Amino acid sequence: MIFMSELIGVIENFHAIIPAGGAGTRLWPLSRREKPKFLLPLNHPDKSMLQCTVERLLPVAESVTVVTGKKHYDAVVAQVLRYPQVNVIAEPSARDSMAAIGYAAEVLRNRYGDDVMVGSFAADHAITDVALFQKCVRTAVEAAQDRIVTLGIIPDAPSTAYGYIKPVFSTGEVQEVERFVEKPDVFTAASFVQQGYLWNGGIFVMLASLLKRVLDRHHPQLSAGLTALAREDFSAPEFVACWERLTKIAFDYAVAEPAAAEGLVAVVPLPARVGWSDVGDFAALGRVQSAGLGGVALAELAWDGQSVQLLDSVSEGDESRVFATDGTRLLVSVGLGAVHAVITEDVILIAPLEAAQQVKQVVELLENSSESQFL
């Protein structure tokens, strides 16, 4: 039986999972291979996005398990040492979100039993109203006794950056999910928002035993592999060999979509005042950062002795100008419209606001060039 502790707010038998992977390529050159965006202080002056995520979840979860790659394991451990309820698991290699979430869920199921409730939360989301977010998590847990429950974000505008959730509309706090939809074009996105679709933020709450049953039906080999791995020493050579054989697939494709087709998924809508953002590109980062004077959005982000400036342009009639300086260089642009200027020690990036999602293409070009040292 899962019930709420009114005194301390922790949801008994509820354990959070944070898959901390991804390169955050749309935020290059801030987000790099060695220090991706979840390790950076993008939405707090002195805490990384991962630390903010952990601190959002600890008041409602008995424990938090972070799953990350070997390359970032030491950095993640260093950032969560202050939180005794946090465990860190290192993946031998990236096998997409299903392997990360499924392995952590199986470890927790072995430890706490079939009735353990697990929730998966991205490491690099920003939330403004934490108390309201936690209330929605509690609602999701209460509704997840016999189904998978996702938290869907009520859109504030059409966006092609997110997948969408089509709910079976009702007036309650929990709605059945009819289907999940891939990222649409701009016209389809506008239609979705008009019809009341929700953004898919990739947040899921479920019984670990239900997750296993869905995987058993749709991906039996993957399910068996995860179960076997949860009983092995993750440092053993056999573990690595078994891990490498796991199907590489996203959680949405492996579980969420087939479960929705079976009527096993519900959604708790996240109100706009929660202030959710995936900080997925420079346009989103600009919205998260506080606005300065004169309509210029300015953020001073400092880590590793490096100062970074993010600015929006100031419009003056038909012209736009960006003035940015790091103390030794002055960057001036004229007639480019609204742009972001990002200055780091080794890179200056200028991008129109409407091209924020295309920054990842620069990373793809660099990966296949002789300039990969800038990644």
Per-residue exposure over 161-188, b if at least 16 CB sit within 10 Å of its own CB, e if not: ebbbbbbeeeeeebbbbbebbeebeeeb
Give the per-residue pLDDT at 304: 44
Examine residue 8 and state whether it is found in any structural domain, yes or no.
no
Residue 322 and residue 182 in one domain? no
CA dihedral 185, 186, 191, 194 (to 10 degrees): 140
Residue 168 and residue 38 in one domain? yes
Give the per-residue pLDDT at 335: 60
Residue 270 and residue 326 in one domain? no
Examine residue 5 and state whether it is found in any structural domain, yes or no.
no
Residue 156 and residue 49 in one domain? yes
Examine residue 232 and state whether it is found in any structural domain, yes or no.
yes
Residue 109 maps to which CATH number? 3.90.550.10
Residue 246 and residue 299 in one domain? no
Eight-state DSSP code of residue 252? I
Question: Considering its fold, how many domains does the chain have in total?
Answer: 2
Residue that is last in its domain, among 274, 292, 307: 274
Residue that is last in its domain, among 274, 301, 326: 274
Query: pLDDT by residue for the chain (375 residues), tens digit each?
Result: 343 434 348 898 999 999 987 766 777 777 777 788 888 887 777 888 899 999 999 999 999 999 998 889 999 999 999 998 999 998 888 888 999 999 999 999 999 998 999 999 999 888 989 999 999 999 999 999 999 999 999 998 888 888 999 998 766 788 899 999 999 898 999 999 989 899 999 999 999 999 999 999 999 999 999 998 887 666 677 888 888 889 999 999 999 999 999 999 999 999 888 888 887 777 777 677 643 322 223 344 433 444 444 444 445 555 555 565 555 666 666 666 666 666 676 777 776 666 666 766 767 776 666 666 665
Residue 79 and residue 163 in one domain? yes
Residue 61 and residue 163 in one domain? yes
**Tokens encoding 29:** 């050159």
Residue type, 329: R
Residue that is last in its domain, among 274, 298, 325: 274
Q: What is the domain extent for residue 168?
A: 14-274
Give the per-residue pLDDT at 250: 93
